[in-house]
Amino acid sequence: MRTKYKRILLKLSGESLMGEQGYGIDANRVGDYARQIKEAAESGVEIAIVIGGGNIFRGLAGAAKGVDRVKGDQMGMLATVINSLALSSALESIGQPAQVFTAINMFPIGEHYSKWKAIDAMRAGKVAIIAGGTGNPFFTTDTGSALRGIEVEADVMLKGTRVDGIYTADPEKDPTATKFTEISYDEIYTRGLKVMDLTATTLCKENKLPIIVFDMDTVGNLARVLDGQPIGTLVY
C-alpha cells in the first residue's frame, strides 16, 4: 500500500474504545484498531497516537459532580494512560512494536515523553503512543494531540471518531445535518462547530497542521485515509 503521508498523528476517542459496552475497554474494538494500525505501520507510515480517556473518566464531568477540576483532569490523564497501555498490549500481541510515552514521569509504566525519543521510536518502526494529554489540567486530549502532532512534525492529524466527518450539526441528533468534504479552521470557529476545542484548532491553524476527521470504527477506513481517498472531512 502506497500512502499519501510519511508521518501521522492519530487521535483516537476514548469513548470509541467502549465499543458496544457502556464503559471501559472493548477488547474487540481495541483489536480492530491494532490490526489497522499495524497495517499502516507495515506500509511505511510513521505513527504517533494520542488517545482520550472518556471511556473511563472525564475531568469536566467529574467537576460537574463536585470533583476538584485539577484533580478531575489528573484522573482523566491517568485514564488515557490505561487506554494507551491497552492499545500497546494489543499491538504487541500481533507483532507490532509499540512504546508508551507519558506526559508526566510515570516510569516504568511509560517513558517520560520527549519529542526526540518519540521520533526515534517511530523511525525504529515502533508506534509511539503518547499518554497523559499535555500533562496539565484545563487542556483536552484534542489539544494534547494537536501539540504532539506539531512537535513530532506529523504531516497530518487524523482524528478518528464515531462519525464519518464534520457536519453542519450533530448527525446523531439532527437528520438534516449535511457533511463537509473540507472546511477551513476559521469556518469551524465562526460556525461554532464542536469538532475539537478552540485551543487545539488554533494550534493546528497557526502551525499549518491539517486535520482529517473520519470514522475510525469502520474497519479499513484508516488505510483509505492514508491512501488519499476522500472519506471524512479535511480541515485546512
What is the CATH number for 110?
Answer: 3.40.1160.10
* pLDDT exceeds 90 at position 64: no
| Angstrom distance (rounded) from CA 171 to CA 179 | 9
Tell me the CA distances in angstroms from 21 to 34, 55, 174, one per residue in order.
19, 10, 24
The answer to whether residue 188 is domain-embedded is yes
The answer to whether residue 125 is domain-embedded is yes
Query: Using 50, 70 and 90 to split pLDDT, how confident is the model at 1?
Result: low
pLDDT in tens, 70-115: 999 999 999 999 999 999 999 999 999 999 999 999 999 999 999 9
Segments forming the whole domain that contains residue 174? 7-235
Helices 27-42 and 69-93 cross at an angle (nearest 10°) of 60
Number of domains in the chain: 1
The answer to whether residue 1 is domain-embedded is no
Strand order in the sheet with 211-215: 111-112, 98-102, 127-131, 46-51, 7-12, 156-161, 211-215, 233-235, 182-183
pTM of the model: 0.94
Residue 188 has a pLDDT of: 93
pLDDT in tens, 197-206: 899 999 999 9
pLDDT in tens, 143-165: 999 999 999 999 999 999 988 99
Return the DSSP state at 15. G
The answer to whether residue 2 is domain-embedded is no
